[in-house]
Amino acid sequence: MKKTFYILFLVLFIIGCTPQKRLENLLKNNPGLLVTDTITVKDIIVTKTIDTVNVITVDSFLKIDTLTLTKERLTVQIIRVNDSIFIKGKCGGDTVIIYKKIPYQKAKGYKPDKLDELIEVLPYIAFALIAISIASILRYKK
């Protein structure tokens, strides 16, 4: 009988409510304890510079002539040297910064006072006292 009581007590102690389960029950019964907060993530994308050169040959012998076109990050240069035309293109690199806001839920911070800590431990103390009294009754009854 004594072994059965100890095994039963041990099983109840091990199977008792885990902190995760208690937190889930607490948040289910008190949804006001959840606070929605956001995390801001900074994502940076850097594009590389693109640089190209094309050559077109022309049969006529002309002097050097250059034409440069520039618009924002794009620069195109057309150079004519003798029988060739050089086309140079350059697109400058750019940095794109994206800010993403990601919402998540967290529990409010709560610091219990001494009375709350005592109330939290009180059921365990009561259970232990009842178990000890039952064990002592069973022991003296024999």
What residues are paired with 95 via a beta bridge?
46
What does the pLDDT look like over 23-62, one tens digit per residue?
A: 788 888 888 788 888 899 898 888 888 777 766 665 554 5
| Cβ atoms within 10 Å, residue 60 | 7
The burial class, CB within 10 Å (0-12 / 13-18 / 19+), for 16 is exposed
With cut-offs at 50, 70 and 90, classify the pLDDT of residue 14: low
How high does pLDDT run on average in the chain?
79
124 versus 73: which is more confidently predicted?
124
The maximal CA–CA distance of the chain, rounded, in angstroms, is 125
What residues are paired with 89 via a beta bridge?
52, 76
73 secondary structure, DSSP code: T
Q: State if pTM tops 0.75.
A: no
